[in-house]
Amino acid sequence: MVATLSIEPLFSDEVRLDPYTYYAELHKYGPICALAAEGRQYQFLVTGYDACSEVLRSHDFMVMDDTLVVSPPSWEDSRTRAVFFNSMMFTNAPRQPRMRHLFSRTFTPRRIEEMEPVIEEIAGRLLDRLADKAGPVDLMADYAFPLPASVLGRLLGVPDEDLPWYRERAAALSKVIELGGGTAENYRKADEASVDLTDYFAKMIADRRGRPGDDLLSALVQAHDEDPGLISERELLSNLVIVFNAGFVTTVHLMGNGLTILLDRPDHLERLRNDPSLAPDYVDEVLRLEGPTHFVARFAAADTEVAGVPVPKGSGVLVLLSAANRDPSRFADPDRFDPSRPTASHLAFSIGAHYCMGAALARMEGQIGLTRLLQRFPNVNLAEQPPPPRQLMLRGHDRLMINLS
């Protein structure tokens, strides 16, 4: 018989400060639990690795899209909701694979491979700037954010001088997708940011139509104009906002979380510094142990079951990716940092139809970013102990003060 639990602990300060102890407790109840009826939108909590994978791969489960809301938002009424519901993140078949196909045609493995020297160059330039600073520096503001943001900027043609402006607006969007973050005030700020961001990309699209370049945005605009049936103008705008936002936030927290993990484990830090070929295993283990995305939501499109538990049509299912990544039935001694374990199967980038399209780029950025930092500053250490993150979606440090020598 499936256990019935309360969802309230996920909103508590205790769990927000240390979700992993709570996840370990959840595993004792099995891979899926029912949630008590407390006026919230989820009826099931999935924590087991195999069960989470089952939900994410199954055609019986959908993301929240405009077909599941009573009054779909218009472009004018709520720009944030309209952006979400016109993007791959909050879209199901047949729209989602159509949009994803267009981006996959332009965001190719070859294009990603060609970014490696660009990542090296940007990392080197940022590390030079860090070396010129006196006293402690904020890793997040001075390195973890500008590295992946500049890389994506090169891909899309967004100039570096616009990135601080973009980061502030991206943060406003991130707040509304946090569990319990959909407040009226958060949506008001996110709507203002969404108007700014869609207007920004609309101007860029108009510019690329008149003066195409060799960047990803020019390729997307060309593909759209050659076959407008592939993607609408609003879908293109929405996906540019979401892809750019999602494309750097994961790597930002990968590097912040990765450095704190390594500073707590000097033997591993020294090993990675001396042998950069270990970086792929180290980055994947960071993503398993301290992935920035702790949950995703799905809704049952039909009567179905998960791990043998009946799930009625219309049920909301909260899929705890970070609990799955510490499932003791999948990963031995799951709370231990062990880069030698086979971690390629973690769910930090999700799986199935909504698997992160930028996973390979994020891995490359994390591998280069962390190893170059450790090699350039072999005595890096914390200038002050950072407060524990409190968010579950996009979990990581807002500020991480470090000494470089």
List the structure tokens of 150: 């500049």
Averaged pLDDT, 384-395: 91
pLDDT for 70 equals 63
With pLDDT > 70 as the criterion, what percentage of the chain qualifies? 99
pLDDT for 315 equals 95
φ and ψ at residue 128, rounded to 5 degrees? -60, -40
Averaged pLDDT, 27-34: 97
pLDDT for 226 equals 87
- Lowest mean pLDDT across 198-202, 249-253, 325-329, 336-340: 249-253
pLDDT at 39 exceeding the cut of 60: no
Averaged pLDDT, 84-108: 90
Q: What is the pLDDT of residues 171-213, one digit of tens each?
A: 899 899 988 888 999 999 999 999 999 999 999 999 999 999 8
Averaged pLDDT, 272-276: 97
> Does residue 160 contact residue 148 with C-beta atoms inside 8 Å?
no
> Does residue 90 contact residue 336 with C-beta atoms inside 8 Å?
no
List the structure tokens of 161: 């001088």
* DSSP-assigned states of every residue in 46-89: E-SHHHHHHHHH-TTEE---TTSSSSPPPTTT-HHHHHHHTSGG
Q: Three-class SS of residue 236?
A: helix
> Does residue 157 contact residue 167 with C-beta atoms inside 8 Å?
no
Identify the CA nearest to 322 among candidates 45, 86, 44, 116.
45
Model confidence at 229, pLDDT cuts 50, 70, 90, reads confident
pLDDT for 312 equals 96
pLDDT at 288 exceeding the cut of 90: yes
Model confidence at 98, pLDDT cuts 50, 70, 90, reads very high
What is the rounded CA–CA span in Å between residue 259 and residue 266?
11
User: How many residues in total does the chain contain?
Assistant: 405
pLDDT at 35 exceeding the cut of 90: yes
Give the helix ranges, DSSP H, for 132-183: 139, 146-156, 163-176
Neighbour-count burial of 9, counting CB atoms closer than 10 A to its CB (0-12 exposed, 13-18 middle, 19+ buried): middle
Model confidence at 245, pLDDT cuts 50, 70, 90, reads confident
* Whether residue 94 has a cis bond before it, omega within 30° of 0: yes
Q: pTM of the prediction? A: 0.94
List the structure tokens of 195: 């108007």
List strand residue ranges (DSSP E) for 189-266, in order: none
pLDDT at 238 exceeding the cut of 60: yes
Domain with residue 295: its CATH number is: 1.10.630.10
Model confidence at 91, pLDDT cuts 50, 70, 90, reads very high
List strand residue ranges (DSSP E) for 286-383, in order: 295-300, 304-306, 309-311, 316-320, 381-382
Neighbour-count burial of 405, counting CB atoms closer than 10 A to its CB (0-12 exposed, 13-18 middle, 19+ buried): exposed
Averaged pLDDT, 2-12: 93
pLDDT at 333 exceeding the cut of 80: yes
* Beta carbons within 8 Å of 137's beta carbon, 6+ residues apart: 130, 143, 401, 402, 404
pLDDT for 65 equals 84
pLDDT at 339 exceeding the cut of 70: yes
What is the rounded CA–CA span in Å between residue 88 and residue 103?
10
> Does residue 90 contact residue 353 with C-beta atoms inside 8 Å?
no
Which one has a higher pLDDT value, 41 or 283?
283
Based on the structure, what is the number of domains in the chain? Answer: 1
pLDDT for 344 equals 60
DSSP 8: G
Identify the CA nearest to 393 among candidates 80, 40, 16.
16
With pLDDT > 90 as the criterion, what percentage of the chain qualifies? 75
Domain that residue 30 falls in: 4-403
